[in-house]
Amino acid sequence: MNFIPNSAIKNNMLKETGLKDIEELFLDIPKQIQIKKLNLQKGLSQQETEQKLREISNKNRPTNNMPSFLGGGIKPHYIPPAVKSIISRAEFYTAYTPYQPEASQGFLQAMFEYQSIIAEITGMDISNASLYDGATALGEASLMCSRINQKKTFVIPQNISWEKKSVLKNYTKGSGIRIKEISYDDETGKINLEELKQSVDNDTTGVYVENPNFFGVFEDGVEEISEIVKDPGSLFVVGVDPVSLGIVKSPGEYGADIVIGEGRSFGNTMDFGGSSLGIFACRNEFLRQMPGRIIGMTKDLDGRRAFCMTLQTREQHIRRGKATSNICTNEGLCALTAVVYLAWLGGNGLEELSRVNFERGQKLVKLISSIDGFEKRFMGIHFNEFVIKSKTDTNKVNKELLKKDVQGGLSLGRWYPELRDCMLFGVSEMHTDKDIEKLVSALEEVSHV
């Protein structure tokens, strides 16, 4: 990054905005997480500063140098060079979030094909051209349910990530929607069906179920859940790990009304923010209540095939009272990446990817469970994530694993006190037999500490 002296410009901007100093711009950030200044020695030259920062950044441990088995959603997945090459083309890479009607035909066609693929793998009639991430897709789904049936209670399982709960809470603030949590079965890790039956009533606008759920377990009673949800006229919202859709039934086959998910695993990088992709699909009858935008295929005046932005429900383009969402960005490049990745993968490739992830998950849980001091926590069938109960303090286990150059599972006690002795592990096609052997060997050593 180039250094540009800007003191005079900064002072003019502060004067124009009526601020005393730069710090006033960051008052909304809680003080406990603010960094007042970088811990750098004064008087360093630019070259010395860059060298110092390089030394600091070298402390990072990328997953290709240290295998990570951290569960909780974001895991390493293989990204073919062809995907990076295509999305790096200038006409794509500079396309921020083209909401404008004059978006290029090439990009519009890519979004049309993205919608087609997402609708097909989720088993739904239609898909939008993506949202910001999986968490905001959940927030949008709750609002959409309430717009459709005018009810005000949205039911979620206890075992979804705390980040999603936080985003959902923010999204529904001021809407009058109440969030109700239902527990999970202590033995299987699946949703508590009896509690679900008691919780769904005539005021329930929708019920959200993840499959596989946050513990990695498949909800094999989804048809029964669908019947329970729809009996009083509520909507069935299903959250998916899209990688799993290569080997399991699509949500559309068991009655989902809305399907959402995090699509980062489709060719997007694993980093902090920016690379997430909110999948959002639904039944055709809810088309005009769906947030985001829809790209359609049509013909131009000469009868040639053409693509156009058919529906977009942002408040910037229609009357505010008619807007279904005010979401202002979705990183179209991430959706483009997903469609390039899926086109490269193909149907057989998605099935193979899904199968490999499932098989590695089954293999790893058996190996870890065979180690003294570790056992599988839930009885349900899992995909590529699973919960392990540990006799040794989970934080201690992870610290010991880090000393052996392995990142272990996610300690669940912070958010689920009843699971304070449990860790959520995740595995993918990126984990080799050597990586798995390294983790198992390290856990065997840790179990004797």
3-state DSSP assignment of residue 398 = helix
pLDDT at 1 over 60: no
Over residues 207-224, mean pLDDT? 96
Please say whether the beta carbons of 161 and 214 come within 8 A: yes
For residue 315, the tally of other CB atoms under 10 A from its CB is 15
Q: In what order do the strands lie in the sheet with 385-390?
A: 374-376, 385-390, 422-426, 410-411
CA distance 85 to 206: 41
CA distance 427 to 279: 22
pLDDT in tens, 11-42: 899 999 999 988 888 888 888 888 877 788 88
pLDDT in tens, 233-289: 999 999 999 999 999 999 999 999 999 999 999 999 988 777 899 999 999 999 999
pLDDT at 170 over 90: yes
- Work out the angle at residue 332's Cα, subtended by the Cα atoms of residues 259 and 296, and round it to the nearest 5 degrees: 70
Write down the pLDDT at residue 31.
86
Nearest to 234 by CA among 225, 242, 246, 243: 225
Please say whether the beta carbons of 71 and 424 come within 8 A: yes
pLDDT in tens, 79-95: 999 999 999 988 787 65
CA distance 113 to 91: 17
Write down the pLDDT at residue 410.
97
Over residues 326-332, mean pLDDT? 66
Write out the DSSP string of 266-295: TT---SSSS---EEEEE-GGGGGG--SEEE
Write down the pLDDT at residue 141.
97
Write down the pLDDT at residue 65.
87
Write down the pLDDT at residue 2.
59
Residue 409 DSSP code: P
From residue 148, how far is each of 203, 204, 314 by CA, in Å? 13, 12, 17
pLDDT in tens, 341-399: 999 999 999 999 999 999 999 999 999 999 999 999 999 899 999 999 999 999 999 99
Please say whether the beta carbons of 429 and 67 come within 8 A: no
Write down the pLDDT at residue 238.
98
pLDDT in tens, 295-327: 999 999 999 999 998 887 765 566 666 777 766
CA distance 141 to 280: 8
- What percentage of the chain exceeds 70 in pLDDT? 94
CA distance 70 to 423: 9
pLDDT in tens, 119-154: 999 999 999 999 989 999 999 999 999 999 999 999
Contacting residues for 227 by C-beta, under 8 A, at least 6 apart = 255
Nearest to 423 by CA among 381, 447, 391: 391
Write down the pLDDT at residue 7.
82
Name the residue with higher pLDDT: 415 or 324: 415
CA dihedral 289, 292, 294, 295 (to 10 degrees): 170
Write down the pLDDT at residue 274.
78
The residue written with tokens 């309430």 in the block is: 146
* pTM, to two decimals: 0.89
Query: What are the contacts of 392-395 at 24+ separation with CB within 8 A?
Result: 392/446, 392/447, 392/449, 393/421, 394/420, 394/421, 394/422, 394/423
The residue written with tokens 């109440």 in the block is: 178
- What percentage of the chain exceeds 90 in pLDDT? 74
Write down the pLDDT at residue 38.
77
